[in-house]
Amino acid sequence: MPRGPLIIVSGPSGCGKSTLIGRVLKQSGLPLHLAVSATTRTPRRGEEEGVHYFFGWDRTRFQGQADDFLEHAEVYGNHYGTPRAEVERHQQAGTGVILDIDVQGAQQVRQRATVDLSVFIQPPSLEELERRLRGRGTEDEAALTRRLDQARREMEHAGEYDVQLVNEFADSAAEHLRWHIAALFHRPQPTGEGSHAG
């Protein structure tokens, strides 16, 4: 059985990458799996083990066994990482694995594994990104400013990715993401211009 491809999808908070990934997983008909990260933190209300995260890992597993992870980081005192064995298990079964990770995580993965496709999801503009973030109504002005500053820094790395997709219209962006992923499986592809690269 052919090895399943490893796919990285990154983009600033608010760009809509989780929505696009969700549509591709649900609608593409491709053998795909969204990688689940491990973490030292405890579950929040509504979070499920093995669905949202693998919870309660001992921090020594992150600090002393870094090779067990394709990428890992410490965020606000908690460790997060993508277990290598979990990803490889799906790949060996012929399933493509999508990593929804940030720019720093993507850089780590490229050093530790063969990445078959990397996609950076861009907002149409920083102004539109700010509008979307404000529309959530979940953060104060200081937090919003931090997110926008982080978005600017992340967008400087967009050129490191194989494909840059502008998420202006979710239906179109999701179809272009699906098109690029489908090409990895050598499936028939739609006619047309291909990528909506920004």
Give percent above pLDDT 70 in the chain.
91
Distance, CA of 92 to CA of 24 (rounded, Å): 21
User: For residue 95, which amino acid is it?
Assistant: T
Q: Is 56 a domain residue? A: no
Q: Is 99 a domain residue? A: yes
Q: Is 83 a domain residue? A: no
Question: What is the number of domains present in the chain?
Answer: 1
Q: Is 66 a domain residue? A: no
User: What's the domain range around 138?
Assistant: 6-35+94-184
Reported pTM: 0.84
Q: Is 62 a domain residue? A: no
- Asked if 168 contacts 122 with a C-beta cutoff of 8 angstroms, the reply is no
Structure confidence by residue, pLDDT tens digits, 112-169: 999 999 999 999 988 888 888 887 767 778 888 888 888 999 999 999 999 999 999 9
Structure confidence by residue, pLDDT tens digits, 7-45: 999 999 889 899 999 999 999 999 999 999 999 988 988
Q: Is 191 a domain residue? A: no
Q: Which pLDDT belongs to residue 33?
A: 96
Q: Is 54 a domain residue? A: no
Q: Could you tell me the CATH number of the domain that includes residue 152?
A: 3.40.50.300
